Structure 1
Amino acid sequence: MDFFLDSCGRRTYLLLIHLFVLRAAANLACSKPQVGENTVLTTESILMNDFPEGSVASVECANGFIAESGSGIITCTSAIWTEPSLVCRKKDCGPPKPQENMSFNLTEGTLFGATIKVICDKGYQIMGSSYKQCYAKGWSGRAKCEIVTCTKPTKVTNGRTLWDSQWDPRYGETIQFQCDDGYTLSGTGTIMCSETGGYDPQPPECKNVTTEGPITLDRSTLPPQVSTSTDLTAPSTTHRGRTITTGPPSTQGGRGIFTADIRATTSVTSAASANRDMHGGTVDTSKDNGHVPVIISVVCVSVVILIMVGFLYKFLLRRKGSANGTMPIC
């Protein structure tokens, strides 16, 4: 009887010890591992439900990051996970593949998560996304730079364009205009398709030649007008190399000469005045430019001849008086 009691007591003691050990071991189990900013649990570790003492799990680099060095193995020790030695860095997408007439603004860099802007050359426009972003598999977004086109200009009234292509004009191409007979271009005859999709300058117009305004005469190119002054004390003036003397005559015989000079001058000015009255106060230089110099030349020659005749007449009178022994009366 005593032996039986001793055996049962030992078994109970051993059972209690075993239960205590199991409970202690359960208390030393680890919780689910916590990952860092750039790491995640592997698929096998995610499927584990319990992490008792001595359990092993593993981590790997997160999406968009690549392993640079170290290991991702961790162990549960005294209910604490060891730190992994894995080092992860962001993936570098690198510069996007070059495309024709396209460039990129790489201010934010080319690492995972960065965004860049697509820029087209002058005269080209973006077709597609104007931004690209660096993802784990590379750059996202597709874009293409296409040349700017302009719509064909509308038909010009009383004219036509020399653009015979079936395609719309593209950036930098020019279009020429031509007017019908009897019409003239108002504006530039050649326009260019600009980078904005419009024309620079604007298309011209064709206007009737007869509808244009009156021609303005530049008076600075007109010859000087003939003076109508009859001042006997006026000094002599020079015209095209000839000198016209308008001063008083020195002898009595020159009165008729001077009178003829005044009459000639008056005739010229009267003709100019009549011509001026006919044209509303403006001398028609297209008709008188060729006659005025001829009239002045004739007057000058007439004056010289009359002066010479006067002096010759006085000379003859003096000789006749000397021959008769009398003094001629001046």
Structure 2
Amino acid sequence: MDFLLDTCGRRRCLLVMQLFVLKAAALCPKPQLGSHIVLTNEALLMNEFPEGSNATVECAHGYVNESGSGVMSCTGGKWTEPDLGCKKKDCGPPIPQPHMTFNLSDGTLFGAKIVVTCDKGFQISGSSYKTCYAGGWTGRAKCEMVMCEQPAEVANGRSLWDSQDEPKYGEIIEFACNEGFTLVGSKSIMCSDYGEYHPGPPECKADFSFTGATTEDRIAPRPAPTAQDSSTISTAHRDKTITTSATATVSPAGQGGIPNW
């Protein structure tokens, strides 16, 4: 030190050293900011923050500028307080869609989630909830009409659904049985909001009272037998049944008359 002072002069070297110390002391550290405010890309590229320099800040992701310019100054080795005010982004209510409602109990600010529901008879296609991000609502969904599969075939019967399209919610399917079969269950079923039929399809069961009878027999009753009808005699012989028909005849002798000789 004495050598340096002797070389350049005590007063001059002391002045240079003093300026060096003051310059080092005047540098501001890298700004420490809150969770809602961050340095801009320009400020992040600065390696040193000397006395009198400025740094700009902006609102963090998901927050928007409410007030202020966002400029900080290095004064006396310290940063001035940023005048920037930030608030959470408000996505606002989602755009209305047909047959769709939203549960907004969680609000509409950044980070909020809302539940998506469809009207009765419609089902969600896509995400069942939406989230508010910096770019707006995420999660696409739409409400589609509930459809039921084509009605199943009914044994010994048929459905009266004559369309190639699948039945929609609320549409009714009717059934009919073939001749000689009776419908058991509901004659008509409806496509419900769960995509299933209510009640279940009916059955067609055989009507044994009509078995072997012709159409005329079912309509017109048979006449009662008369006294002149032939009597039927059944005689069992081994494992066969022999049926004979005879008309009863009474001789004059049997009637008490006098034989004719």
**In the alignment, what sits opposite 2:204?**
206
What is the CA–CA distance in structure 1 between the aligned matches of 2:21 and 2:8, rounded to whole Å?
A: 20
Q: Does 1:126 align with 2:127?
A: no
**In the alignment, what sits opposite 2:216?**
none
What is the CA–CA distance in structure 1 between the aligned matches of 2:117 and 2:79, rounded to whole Å?
A: 50
What is the CA–CA distance in structure 2 between the aligned matches of 1:55 and 1:70, rounded to whole Å?
A: 18
Query: What stretches of structure 1 move > 3 A for 4+ residues in a row?
Result: 8-12
* Deviation at residue 71 of structure 1 after TM alignment: 2.2
* Deviation at residue 62 of structure 1 after TM alignment: 1.2
What is the CA–CA distance in structure 2 between the aligned matches of 1:9 and 1:115, rounded to whole Å?
A: 74
TM-score, scaled relative to structure 1: 0.60
Percent identity, aligned pairs only, is 57
What is the CA–CA distance in structure 2 between the aligned matches of 1:173 and 1:111, rounded to whole Å?
A: 42
> What is the letter of the counterpart of residue 60 of structure 2?
A
SS in 2 for 1:125: strand
SS in 2 for 1:146: strand
| Alignment equivalent of 2:19, drawn from 18, 21, 25 | 21
Q: Does 1:188 align with 2:189?
A: no
| Alignment equivalent of 1:36, drawn from 12, 34, 37 | 34
* Deviation at residue 196 of structure 1 after TM alignment: 1.1
Q: Which runs of 5+ in 2 are unaligned?
A: 1-5, 211-261
* Deviation at residue 12 of structure 1 after TM alignment: 4.2
What is the CA–CA distance in structure 1 between the aligned matches of 2:71 and 2:122, rounded to whole Å?
A: 54
* Deviation at residue 120 of structure 1 after TM alignment: 0.8
Please tell me the root mean square deviation across aligned C-alpha atoms, in Å: 1.8
SS in 2 for 1:20: helix
- Structure with greater proportional strand content: 2
SS in 2 for 1:134: strand
Aligned length, in residue pairs: 206
What is the CA–CA distance in structure 2 between the aligned matches of 1:79 and 1:55, rounded to whole Å?
A: 10
> What is the letter of the counterpart of residue 125 of structure 1?
Q
What is the CA–CA distance in structure 2 between the aligned matches of 1:201 and 1:209, rounded to whole Å?
A: 23
**In the alignment, what sits opposite 1:51?**
49
> What is the letter of the counterpart of residue 86 of structure 1?
L
TM-score, scaled relative to structure 2: 0.75
What is the CA–CA distance in structure 2 between the aligned matches of 1:211 and 1:163, rounded to whole Å?
A: 30
**In the alignment, what sits opposite 1:77?**
75
SS in 1 for 2:123: strand
* Deviation at residue 10 of structure 1 after TM alignment: 6.6
SS in 1 for 2:65: strand
| Alignment equivalent of 1:140, drawn from 117, 138, 141 | 138
| Alignment equivalent of 2:175, drawn from 150, 174, 177 | 177
Summarize deviations over 1:145-195 as a string: whole Å, max 9, x none.
Answer: 111111112211111001111111111111010111111110111000011
* Deviation at residue 85 of structure 1 after TM alignment: 1.2
SS in 1 for 2:208: helix
**In the alignment, what sits opposite 1:232?**
none
Q: Which runs of 5+ in 1 are unaligned?
A: 1-7, 213-330
CA pair 53-209 structure 1, distance change in 2 beyond 3 A: same
- Structure with greater proportional helix content: 1
**In the alignment, what sits opposite 1:165?**
163
**In the alignment, what sits opposite 2:58?**
60
SS in 2 for 1:66: strand
What is the CA–CA distance in structure 2 between the aligned matches of 1:132 and 1:28, rounded to whole Å?
A: 50
> What is the letter of the counterpart of residue 39 of structure 1?
I
What is the CA–CA distance in structure 1 between the aligned matches of 2:113 and 2:78, rounded to whole Å?
A: 40
> What is the letter of the counterpart of residue 84 of structure 1?
P
> What is the letter of the counterpart of residue 163 of structure 1?
W
What is the CA–CA distance in structure 2 between the aligned matches of 1:154 and 1:25, rounded to whole Å?
A: 90
What is the CA–CA distance in structure 2 between the aligned matches of 1:155 and 1:24, rounded to whole Å?
A: 96
**In the alignment, what sits opposite 2:101?**
103
* Deviation at residue 13 of structure 1 after TM alignment: 2.3
What is the CA–CA distance in structure 2 between the aligned matches of 1:56 and 1:174, rounded to whole Å?
A: 75
SS in 2 for 1:202: coil
SS in 2 for 1:75: strand
What is the CA–CA distance in structure 2 between the aligned matches of 1:17 and 1:193, rounded to whole Å?
A: 96
Summarize deviations over 1:60-98 as a string: whole Å, max 9, x none.
Answer: 111211111122111111111110111111111111111
What is the CA–CA distance in structure 1 between the aligned matches of 2:83 and 2:66, rounded to whole Å?
A: 11
* Deviation at residue 15 of structure 1 after TM alignment: 2.3
**In the alignment, what sits opposite 1:291?**
none
The structure whose Rg is larger is 1
What is the CA–CA distance in structure 1 between the aligned matches of 2:190 and 2:17, rounded to whole Å?
A: 95
